[in-house]
Chains A and B, each alone.
Chain A
Amino acid sequence: GAVVSQHPSRVICKSGTSVKIECRSLDFQATTMFWYRQFPKQSLMLMATSNEGSKATYEQGVEKDKFLINHASLTLSTLTVTSAHPEDSSFYICSARDETGGNSPLHFGNGTRLTVT
């Protein structure tokens, strides 16, 4: 089945530094990938839609200069948290579909636990 690989699984960084998270579709091509954020005991909140070869589409309230998204190929999207602060500590999860159309299921990576000290 379709596999989405996310790296790193955990990262601890100091306040003010930047962190890059990679999301790869291993056995399918993904023109669109989605980045979610999840706080403890809360739902997945969509942050942005990553589009291969074009700019990402950000959800309302998500700072595009804070959360930089690059979708340089059909199998790789990256999320960079710039100038991280403790309030950015969260669980970040990427996902992708392996076929066009809105109703196919999402395949998720295993998430990245970011802790900003």
Chain B
Amino acid sequence: SQKIEQNSEALNIQEGKTATLTCNYTNYSPAYLQWYRQDPGRGPVFLLLIRENEKEKRKERLKVTFDTTLKQSLFHITASQPADSATYLCALAGFQKLVFGTGTRLLVSP
């Protein structure tokens, strides 16, 4: 069956370090993958999209990689800040709809 896996344990890092979050999937061949940020009690906010023919995408302090052979995406936040603390969700494209992973909570301590 199709599965999207993100680390359910919170990731704790110190301010200024690089946070790396992982999204693994099985039995999917997505045309693209998206990353969202979700704060408690709020709806997700779109961050980045990466297509299957792209290896890497950057936006300011954010970087996403997409390895269709490993069936994995990595999401990096460089020079992390306490304001980056949130839950980060990856989402894979199905036909006209997105399927979300469970998300990984990131805690950046000052």
- List residues of A whose CB falls within 8 A of some B CB: 4, 6, 32, 34, 41-44, 46, 49, 91, 93, 95, 102-103, 105-111, 113
Would A42 and B102 count as touching, CB distance under 8 A? yes
Given contact pairs A43-B103, A105-B34, A111 touches B43 in the complex (Cβ within 8 A) = yes
Contact of B32 among A93, A103, A107, A113 (CB under 8 A): A103
Interchain Cβ contacts under 8 Å between A and B, 29 examples: A4-B43, A6-B43, A34-B97, A41-B8, A42-B102, A43-B4, A43-B102, A43-B103, A44-B44, A44-B89, A44-B100, A46-B98, A49-B96, A49-B97, A93-B44, A95-B43, A102-B93, A103-B31, A103-B32, A103-B93, A105-B34, A106-B46, A108-B43, A108-B44, A110-B41, A110-B42, A110-B43, A111-B41, A113-B41
- List residues of B whose CB falls within 8 A of some A CB: 4, 8, 31-32, 34, 41-46, 49, 51, 89, 93, 95-103
Q: Inside 8 A of B31's CB, which chain A residues have their CB?
A: 102-103
Q: Inside 8 A of A106's CB, which chain B residues have their CB?
A: 34, 44, 46, 98
Q: Inside 8 A of A43's CB, which chain B residues have their CB?
A: 4, 89, 100-103
Cβ-closest chain A residue relative to B48:
A105
Q: Closest Cβ of chain A: how far from B36's Cβ, in Å?
A: 8
Q: Inside 8 A of A49's CB, which chain B residues have their CB?
A: 96-97
Q: How far is the CA of A107 from the CA of B98 in the complex (A)?
A: 12
Q: Inside 8 A of B32's CB, which chain A residues have their CB?
A: 103
Cβ-closest chain A residue relative to B87:
A41
